[in-house]
A and B are shown apart, each in its own frame.
Chain A
Amino acid sequence: MKTVIFYNGRIIDPASTDTPHRDEIWVAGGSIVSAAGTAPADALRCDLQGKWIVPGLIDMHVHLREPGEEYKETIASGTAAAAAGGFTAVACMPNTTPVNDCASVTRNILEKARGCRARVYPVGSISARSEGKALADYGEMKEAGAVALSDDGLPVVDSQLMRRALEYSASYKMRVISHSEESSLSRNGCMNEGETSTLLGLKGIPAAAEAIMVFREIALAELTGVAVHIAHVSTAASLSLIGEAKKRGVAVTAETAPHYFTLTDEAVLGYNSNAKMNPPLRSTTDREAVREALANGTLDAIATDHAPHSNLEKEVEFSLAANGIIGLETALPLSLEMVRQGYITAEKMIELLSVSPAAILGVAGGSLAVGAPADITVIDPEKRYRFSRDSILSSSANSPFLDWQLQGKAVLTMVEGRITHSILSELSEFSEFNEAGR
């Protein structure tokens, strides 16, 4: 493809030092190149007036369901949803069937991901089959391409196993991601414990169920000196523990998901199973704490916990419904809402959605520096639209945001210079993927 010159856009590139001196981003040969020289005569000039150009968004927590549950999502459909949502890369959790606990599953995922619309970074399991009993083979998964470790969906109950996982993972520089849940407190629970669970007569999960395990992970990070990452933080109590630990210099990082800073447990009213996930939507106080933690450094990343489920799992009695919602196609507008409401700056949003996830996972991206791969997202922060079922590229539609009026959308997504999503008229003809009708 020809050299592409993006001009007139607002460049948001918090990780690069050369940004202030640039007003154009040039892309050639799959990389970002210097804009200092003379442009090739046939260069394609792309006017980004009113738009933002940012390093490609990275979602460090998704479930692609392949192998094993392809009726919910495939690597192809999940990465298509990622591209449409502005993501250039996703890290997929290992709770597939079989569990990604060995090199052959990791390789299988990466083979399926070839040619798809986003980079796929497999996360291997902490324990064999995620059973919480023995360590999985981290070295061979790392060699095969896994970037981090998690038993996501399940807590590692055995503290000694978690300690050993942290110690052993350090040799391979794979971050251990904790699903923090004290399961004897959350047992049989299906929503946040509080006024709303009492009203609906549903068994609650107290905030303490998360905080207790977050405290353990921090203590183990301190004991071992190895960094731990806390997935999907949902409560004020956990954030307070993480904030204090960071002040003490403990190597802990943390993510939250857009639903935790957007919704509260009242979204469950009417027994809405599309508002059911684990950890559950929390109180207004917790939501406020999450919003503040986005700005003050307690939280490092926004990750969607994209968890596709079909009607088979969701159109059932609330207590029996599966946990999880899709998130790849709504994360950006919901994060932009935090910018509009003044909780975070646009720069901070890009740190949370790109710079920090790249750093935590130790992968490429997060920067528009010259020489970096051309993983780029162009955002129209003003575009308003209804999030309709028809528009969803994920194979599942389990979202509490269906029919919401959203503002802000990725209009171009580019992975190594390859256009993976475009509704920009100048470039749509170069897209490898047909998005007619969208």
Chain B
Amino acid sequence: MDTEYAFRHRHILGIDQFSEADIYHILQTARSFKEISNRSIKKVPILRGKTIINLFFEPSTRTRLSFEIAAKRMSADTFNISASASSAAKGETLIDTAKNLQAMNPDIVIMRHAYSGSPHLLTKHIDASIINAGDGTHQHPSQGLLDMLTVLENKGKIEGLKIAIIGDIAHSRVARSDIMGFTRLGAVVHVAGPATFIPPGIDKLGARVCTTIKEAVRDADVVMALRIQRERQNDPLIPSLREYATFFGINRKLLENAKEDALIMHPGPINRGVEMSPDVADGPQSVILDQVTNGVAVRMALLYLVLGGDKHSAEGK
């Protein structure tokens, strides 16, 4: 490995903050941690004595659990604050919440919030490392990284692959993190969906916009569907889930256009029969559960790296 390299990020806010070397370093670190989750005693003392707060202003099962398992497998002390129990309902401002948390001296705050940019605001008022676990329609960097790890493990490389992302690109924080990440590693990302789901200027982020989903998945190495939420703030985006499933759902027939060994991915939770037919989701090409497994490893890596893990382990050796 490159001995000159050093991971220099105290906060994880979005994939755009990472160089190619950063991403590969995170993925490599994650792979080295994967084995821990397969032990009979799934615990190492790397983050013993560290305090990690899960600050979730939006409901989340998967991501919160994944971060919590990652932290506990590394022996950190974790605490969960969820929206219903938080101060938000009492009218406390985000900054006041941040200052109160800071007063308890946590090492890492993992944050999910409905508004884009909220973790950025938190970094200005708190000394702990902030990890963005999804902010509004902005980014979800740990999801992007676990997607990259899943593709890397299954394909052996990322550079030169064709990745198709189908669905609500406009409102997807996963899409933004994936587009930036895969593009930075030299893959070509094609996006498609109803035009109401394609945000202006998405091509400037590196995505190629296709007019049909058939075109997007043609010869693709990876086909990813995004979760559809029909109702969004009074905005008539699609007429019905049924119509969406008919014209934009990923099914066997559509996949005949992709490479034979194309990977099928979904950030979850799936609306079965809407954005993806059940036979595709459960089929042999699906790596949806690999994504979940890799999520724990990637999050272990992020927790380790933001606390300067590389340095400590070097000293230890």
A316 to B91, CA, bound (A): 12
Minimal Cβ-Cβ distance residue in A for B122: A317
Flag A194-208 by CB within 8 Å of B: 1 or 0 each.
Answer: 111111111110000
Looking at A201, A318, A320, the one whose CB has the most chain B CB atoms below 10 A away is A201
Determine whether the beta carbon of B176 is less than 8 Å from that of A271.
no
A262 in the interface (beta carbon within 8 A) = no
Determine whether the beta carbon of B202 is less than 8 Å from that of A271.
no
Chain B min CB distance to A332 (Å): 31
Given A198-B201, A319-B136, verify A187-B234 contact (CB < 8 Å).
yes
Given A271-B117, A271-B120, verify A201-B200 contact (CB < 8 Å).
no
Count residues on chain B whose CB falls below 8 Å from chain A CBs. 27
Give the chain A neighbours of B39 by CB distance below 8 A. Answer: none
A319 to B200, CA, bound (A): 19
Give the chain B neighbours of A271 by CB distance below 8 A. Answer: 116-117, 120-121
Residues facing A in B2-25 (CB within 8 A) are 16
B93 in the interface (beta carbon within 8 A) = yes
A203 to B136, CA, bound (A): 10
B204 in the interface (beta carbon within 8 A) = yes
Determine whether the beta carbon of B201 is less than 8 Å from that of A201.
no
Determine whether the beta carbon of A320 is less than 8 Å from that of B115.
yes
Flag B130-172 by CB within 8 Å of A: 1 or 0 each.
Answer: 0000011111000000000000000000000000000000100
Determine whether the beta carbon of B136 is less than 8 Å from that of A201.
yes
Given A200-B138, A201-B137, A201-B176, verify A194-B116 contact (CB < 8 Å).
no
B81 in the interface (beta carbon within 8 A) = no
Give the chain B neighbours of A317 by CB distance below 8 A. Answer: 94, 113, 115, 117-118, 121
B72 in the interface (beta carbon within 8 A) = no
B101 in the interface (beta carbon within 8 A) = no
B205 in the interface (beta carbon within 8 A) = yes
B186 in the interface (beta carbon within 8 A) = no
Residues facing A in B69-121 (CB within 8 A) are 93-95, 113, 115-118, 120-121
Looking at B93, B95, B200, B233, the one whose CB has the most chain A CB atoms below 10 A away is B200
Determine whether the beta carbon of A195 is less than 8 Å from that of B201.
yes
Determine whether the beta carbon of A195 is less than 8 Å from that of B116.
no
Minimal Cβ-Cβ distance residue in A for B135: A201
Minimal Cβ-Cβ distance residue in B for A195: B201
A300 in the interface (beta carbon within 8 A) = no
Residues facing B in A162-220 (CB within 8 A) are 187-188, 193-204
Determine whether the beta carbon of A270 is less than 8 Å from that of B120.
yes
Give the chain A neighbours of B200 by CB distance below 8 A. Answer: 193-195, 197-198, 204
Chain B min CB distance to A435 (Å): 33
Chain A min CB distance to B177 (Å): 10
Give the chain A neighbours of B135 by CB distance below 8 A. Answer: 201
A111 in the interface (beta carbon within 8 A) = no
Chain B min CB distance to A265 (Å): 11
Flag B195-208 by CB within 8 Å of A: 1 or 0 each.
Answer: 00001111011000
Chain B min CB distance to A329 (Å): 25
A197 to B117, CA, bound (A): 12
A315 in the interface (beta carbon within 8 A) = yes
Give the chain A neighbours of B137 by CB distance below 8 A. Answer: 201-203
Give the chain A neighbours of B94 by CB distance below 8 A. Answer: 316-317
Chain A min CB distance to B161 (Å): 23
Give the chain B neighbours of A198 by CB distance below 8 A. Answer: 170, 176, 199-202, 204-205
A315 to B99, CA, bound (A): 13
Minimal Cβ-Cβ distance residue in B for A196: B201
B173 in the interface (beta carbon within 8 A) = yes
Determine whether the beta carbon of A199 is less than 8 Å from that of B205.
yes
Chain A min CB distance to B297 (Å): 26
Determine whether the beta carbon of A188 is less than 8 Å from that of B233.
yes
A316 to B98, CA, bound (A): 12
Chain B min CB distance to A343 (Å): 27
Determine whether the beta carbon of A201 is less than 8 Å from that of B116.
yes
Give the chain B neighbours of A320 by CB distance below 8 A. Answer: 115
Give the chain B neighbours of A202 by CB distance below 8 A. Answer: 116-117, 136-138
Give the chain A neighbours of B138 by CB distance below 8 A. Answer: 200-202
Contacting residue for B93 out of A200, A201, A316, CB 8 A: A316
Minimal Cβ-Cβ distance residue in B for A317: B115
Minimal Cβ-Cβ distance residue in A for B140: A201
Determine whether the beta carbon of A199 is less than 8 Å from that of B201.
yes
Give the chain A neighbours of B121 by CB distance below 8 A. Answer: 271, 315-318
Chain B min CB distance to A200 (Å): 6
Give the chain A neighbours of B93 by CB distance below 8 A. Answer: 315-316
A203 to B232, CA, bound (A): 12
Residues facing B in A54-112 (CB within 8 A) are none
Flag A297-327 by CB within 8 Å of B: 1 or 0 each.
Answer: 0000000000000000001111110000000
Residues facing A in B220-238 (CB within 8 A) are 233-234
Given A187-B234, A188-B233, A318-B115, verify A201-B173 contact (CB < 8 Å).
yes
Residues facing A in B223-274 (CB within 8 A) are 233-234
Interface residues, chain A, with chain B CB atoms under 8 Å away? 187-188, 193-204, 270-271, 315-320
List, sorted by A's number, 16 A–B pairs whose CB atoms are closer than 8 Å: A188-B233, A193-B200, A195-B204, A199-B201, A199-B204, A199-B205, A201-B116, A201-B176, A202-B137, A203-B233, A271-B117, A316-B121, A317-B94, A319-B115, A319-B116, A320-B115
Extra contacts besides A198-B176, A317-B115, A319-B116 (15): CB < 8 Å: A187-B233, A193-B200, A197-B200, A198-B204, A199-B16, A200-B117, A201-B116, A201-B136, A201-B139, A202-B116, A271-B116, A271-B117, A315-B95, A317-B117, A319-B117
8 tightest A-B contacts by CB?
A195-B201, A201-B138, A271-B117, A201-B137, A201-B116, A317-B115, A198-B199, A319-B115
